[in-house]
Amino acid sequence: MAYLFTSESVSEGHPDKISDQISDAIIDNFLAFDKDSKVACETLVTTGQVVLAGEIKSKAYVDVQTVARDVIRKIGYTKGAYMFSADSCGVLSALHEQSPDINQGVDRGTPEEQGAGDQGMMFGYATNETENYMPLALDLSHKMLQELAAMRRESTDITYLRPDAKSQVTIEYSDDNIPQRITDIVVSTQHDDFADEPTMLAKIKKDIVGILIPRVIAQLKPELQKLFTNDIKYHINPTGKFVIGGPHGDAGLTGRKIIVDTYGGKGAHGGGAFSGKDPSKVDRSAAYATRHIAKNMIAAGVADQILVQVSYAIGVVEPMGIFVDTYGTSKVNMTDGEIAKKVSEIFDMRPGIIEQRLKLRNPMYSETAAYGHMGRENKTVQKTFTGSNGEAVNMEVELFTWEKLDYVDQVKKAFSL
Find the DSSP H helices in 347-407: 351-357
Tell me: is residue 166 an annotated ligand-binding position: yes
248 marked as part of a ligand binding site: no
Q: In angstroms, rounded to a whole number, what is the distance separating the alpha carbons of residues 286 and 289? A: 5
Q: Is 273 annotated as a binding residue?
A: yes
Determine whether the annotation assigns residue 32 to a binding site. Answer: no
Q: Is 256 annotated as a binding residue?
A: yes
Is 250 annotated in a binding site? The answer is: yes
Q: How far is CA 208 from the centre of its chain?
A: 24
| 197 known member of a binding site | no
Q: Is 55 annotated as ligand-binding?
A: yes
Q: Which residues neighbour 143 within 8 Å (Cβ) at sequence distance 6 or greater? A: 216, 219
Asked if 368 and 254 touch (Cβ cutoff 8 Å), the reply is no
For residue 281, say whether it is annotated as part of any ligand binding site: yes
**Is 172 annotated as belonging to a binding site?**
no
**What is the distance between the alpha carbons of residues 155 and 78, in angstroms, rounded to a whole number?**
15
285 bridge partner residues: none
- The candidate with the shortest Cα–Cα distance to 351, out of 112, 179, 101, 159, is 112
Q: Confirm whether residue 28 is marked as ligand binding.
A: no
| Residue closest to 272 by CA, chosen among 122, 56, 62 | 122
24 a known binding residue? Answer: no
Residue 192's contacts (CB-CB under 8 Å, 6 or more residues apart) are 160, 161, 162, 243
- Report whether 292 contacts 310 (CB < 8 A): no
Q: Which amino acid is at 229?
A: T
Which residues 6+ apart lie within 8 Å of 36 measured at CB? 58, 59, 361
| 242 in a known ligand binding site | yes
143 is in an annotated binding site: no
Which residues on neighbouring strands pair with residue 170, listed in sequence order? 6, 184
Task: Name the residue among 110, 30, 20 with its Cα closest to residue 355.
Answer: 110
DSSP state of 211: I
Output the furthest CA–CA distance in the chain (Å, rounded).
Answer: 67
Is 336 known to sit in a ligand binding site? no
Please give the Cα distance from 157 to 153 (Å, whole number): 10
List residues with catalytic annotation.
Answer: 14, 16-17, 42, 55, 166, 242, 250-251, 256-257, 277, 281, 283
42 is in an annotated binding site: yes
* Angle of CA points 255, 256, 260, to nearest 5°: 95
Measured in degrees and rounded to the nearest 5, phi and psi for residue 226 equal -65, -20
Question: Cα torsion for 202, 207, 213, 215, to the nearest 10°?
Answer: 180
Indicate the annotated binding residues for Mg(2+).
16
Indicate the annotated binding residues.
14, 16, 42, 55, 98, 164-166, 241-242, 250, 256-257, 273, 277, 281
Indicate the annotated binding residues for K(+).
42
Indicate the annotated binding residues for ATP.
14, 164-166, 241-242, 250, 256-257, 273, 277
Indicate the annotated binding residues for L-methionine.
55, 98, 250, 281
